[in-house]
Homo-oligomer: A and B are copies of this chain.
Amino acid sequence: MPSPTPDPPVGAAVPGQVPVPARHPRLDPLADRYAARTHGMKSSEIRALFSVVSRPEVVSLAGGMPAVTALPLDAVGSMIGELVSGMGAQTLQYGSGQGDPRLRERICDVMALEGITDASPSEVVVTVGSQQGLDLVTRVFVDPGDVILAEAPSYVGALGVFQAAQARVQHVLMDDEGLVPEALEDALIECRARGDKVKFLYTIPNFHNPAGITLTEERRGKVMEIADRYDLLVVEDNPYGLLGFDREPMRALRARDAERVIYLGSFSKTFSPGLRVGWVLAPLAVREKLVLATEAQVLCPPSLTQYAVARYLDTQPWQQQIKTFIELYRERRDACLDSLSALMPPGTTWTKPDGGFYVWLKLPRGLDAKLMQPRAVSAHVAYVPGIGFYADGQGKEYMRLSYCYPEPDQIREGVRRLARVVEAELDLHSTFDGVDTGTFRRVGSTPASPSLVGPASTDQIGDQP
């Protein structure tokens, strides 16, 4: 809005008024035209690392890239080539906004592996990765100022969606058994007292990103009981559920409640992220809104990639391939955990994932993973600083280590470099006494509550069915 009076000169304080910064010169001539949501958008901690981690001398424990070269590339290439040559009229053409019906049927088969046996293809919406699924759910439900509950920490890409939607995120404590039910109930009571509109709980129950933790069977029951009691929607994000190292997949939250849970799935970790095929399973009324939202956003998901996934599930030994991935990731997890145990200085703690891609590491007291990052990069190792996984600036003492992509030897070398950097930091800070024992910091509105004992206090996340 043009002001009727001229802008004051730079730095000039007008009595009784907050000084107005000069409008010229400015870097972006459109700066005053953006939508309100745009001003809050910022680059993620992960993207900031892109240029670093692509340097060959750097061991990257930062990105969460699956090991796609473990796929039978020749067979997949032939399969996709034939889809285009033989079915170009379908695979190169527009499709439906909801997604290919055949793929939606096969998606229901995949979900059955996690106990979701009542899903209908009509309740499935195919999305451009589960990222788009989360964005659609958020657009359909969330007005600016609404509250979303999410674990502390939570997936950085989800926080980006919530920020773009101008939502407020209230973090809920997790420990080595996953989301803490009492903390969830406390958060709901608090939000109700404040009059907040809580639109949903966003949770990653299996092999959490970034925490590497899995919600126990007992906790699943408690979380859903609380959701029922407080009439809370749950958005269950489950990209890693089939990638457990030691046991069969756990029963999804959605398998317990078809009306209260919106389920997000993905083929990015079980097949290929470069195809960007994910999905949402939602009650029919919500499904209808999601289809309208995705039509406005992308018209329809790519046909070729949907046909590729459906054909892959139809003709390739995909369950065997998942076992191949599991063995590969287990070996890398072992390389990571063994090296951490052997090399990290006292006071450093970390989670012990039994599936998925990530270890969540807490530095000795006084160290800051973000501040330490330039020195780590100089030492040719990269990680993601923990603050990216909180909506409120917490988490500076944490980092996420991904073991999914580098070879075991690289992982060991990366941890060796990281350990040296941490030791040098400790020398610098001279904080060898008073290190704590690796608890999760409770983030949110009840800082006075005692922190529950964190995941690093047990040897293994195990003990789950």
Q: Is A435 an interface residue (CB 8 A)?
A: no
**Which residues of A are at the interface with B, using a C-beta cutoff of 8 A?**
1-2, 27-31, 33-38, 41-44, 47, 50, 63, 65-66, 68-69, 71, 73-74, 76-78, 80-86, 88-97, 128-129, 131-132, 135, 139-143, 146, 157, 160-161, 163-164, 192, 199, 231, 233, 259, 268, 272-276, 283, 285-286, 289, 292-293, 295-305, 308
Determine if B297 and A297 form an interchain contact, defined as CB atoms under 8 angstroms apart: yes
Least Cβ–Cβ distance between A292 and chain B, in angstroms: 4
A47 / chain B contacts, CB cutoff of 8 Å:
97, 295
Given the interface pairs A30-B286, A274-B94, the reply to whether A89 lies near B77 with Cβ below 8 Å is no
Q: What are 22 A-B residue pairs whose CB atoms fall within 8 Å in the complex?
A: A1-B192, A33-B233, A35-B139, A35-B143, A35-B146, A41-B289, A42-B292, A68-B93, A69-B88, A71-B88, A73-B86, A74-B85, A76-B88, A77-B84, A77-B86, A90-B274, A94-B268, A95-B274, A131-B298, A131-B299, A275-B303, A276-B300
Determine if A34 and B274 form an interchain contact, defined as CB atoms under 8 angstroms apart: no
A300 / chain B contacts, CB cutoff of 8 Å:
276
Determine if A299 and B164 form an interchain contact, defined as CB atoms under 8 angstroms apart: no
> How many Å lie between the Cα of A233 and that of B33 in the bound state?
10
Given the interface pairs A86-B77, A274-B304, the reply to whether A297 lies near B135 with Cβ below 8 Å is yes
A69 / chain B contacts, CB cutoff of 8 Å:
88-89
> How many Å lie between the Cα of A2 and that of B305 in the bound state?
44
Determine if A34 and B289 form an interchain contact, defined as CB atoms under 8 angstroms apart: yes
Determine if B68 and A135 form an interchain contact, defined as CB atoms under 8 angstroms apart: no
* Residue among A84, A139, A259, A293 having the largest count of chain B Cβ atoms under 10 Å: A84
The one of B44, B50, B96 in contact with A50, judged by C-beta atoms closer than 8 angstroms, is: B96
Q: Can you name 5 extra interface pairs (CB under 8 A) apart from A38-B140, A80-B84, A93-B273?
A: A38-B289, A131-B299, A157-B299, A274-B302, A276-B298
A298 / chain B contacts, CB cutoff of 8 Å:
128-129, 131-132, 135, 276, 298
Least Cβ–Cβ distance between A153 and chain B, in angstroms: 18
Given the interface pairs A88-B71, A296-B160, A297-B135, the reply to whether A302 lies near B276 with Cβ below 8 Å is yes
Determine if A259 and B29 form an interchain contact, defined as CB atoms under 8 angstroms apart: yes
Q: For A42, give the chain B residue with the smallest CB separation.
A: B292
The one of B1, B30, B92 in contact with A285, judged by C-beta atoms closer than 8 angstroms, is: B30
> How many Å lie between the Cα of A92 and that of B270 in the bound state?
12
The one of B38, B129, B296 in contact with A299, judged by C-beta atoms closer than 8 angstroms, is: B129
A89 / chain B contacts, CB cutoff of 8 Å:
68-69
Least Cβ–Cβ distance between A447 and chain B, in angstroms: 27
> How many Å lie between the Cα of A301 and that of B77 in the bound state?
20
Least Cβ–Cβ distance between A355 and chain B, in angstroms: 20
A50 / chain B contacts, CB cutoff of 8 Å:
96
The one of B92, B231, B274 in contact with A275, judged by C-beta atoms closer than 8 angstroms, is: B92
Determine if B93 and A44 form an interchain contact, defined as CB atoms under 8 angstroms apart: no
> How many Å lie between the Cα of A309 and that of B295 in the bound state?
23
Determine if B286 and A140 form an interchain contact, defined as CB atoms under 8 angstroms apart: no
* Residue among A50, A142, A163 having the largest count of chain B Cβ atoms under 10 Å: A142
> How many Å lie between the Cα of A47 and that of B291 in the bound state?
11
Least Cβ–Cβ distance between A305 and chain B, in angstroms: 6
A83 / chain B contacts, CB cutoff of 8 Å:
77
A303 / chain B contacts, CB cutoff of 8 Å:
274-276
The one of B74, B135, B199, B233 in contact with A296, judged by C-beta atoms closer than 8 angstroms, is: B135
The one of B139, B161, B199 in contact with A37, judged by C-beta atoms closer than 8 angstroms, is: B139
A292 / chain B contacts, CB cutoff of 8 Å:
41-43, 160
Given the interface pairs A68-B92, A84-B76, A84-B80, the reply to whether A164 lies near B139 with Cβ below 8 Å is yes
Least Cβ–Cβ distance between A190 and chain B, in angstroms: 14
Least Cβ–Cβ distance between A66 and chain B, in angstroms: 8
Q: For A158, give the chain B residue with the smallest CB separation.
A: B296
Determine if B30 and A233 form an interchain contact, defined as CB atoms under 8 angstroms apart: yes
The one of B37, B44, B93, B231 in contact with A2, judged by C-beta atoms closer than 8 angstroms, is: B231
A231 / chain B contacts, CB cutoff of 8 Å:
2
A135 / chain B contacts, CB cutoff of 8 Å:
296-298
> How many Å lie between the Cα of A21 and that of B74 in the bound state?
61
A141 / chain B contacts, CB cutoff of 8 Å:
33-35, 38
A42 / chain B contacts, CB cutoff of 8 Å:
292
Given the interface pairs A34-B140, A302-B274, the reply to whether A94 lies near B65 with Cβ below 8 Å is yes
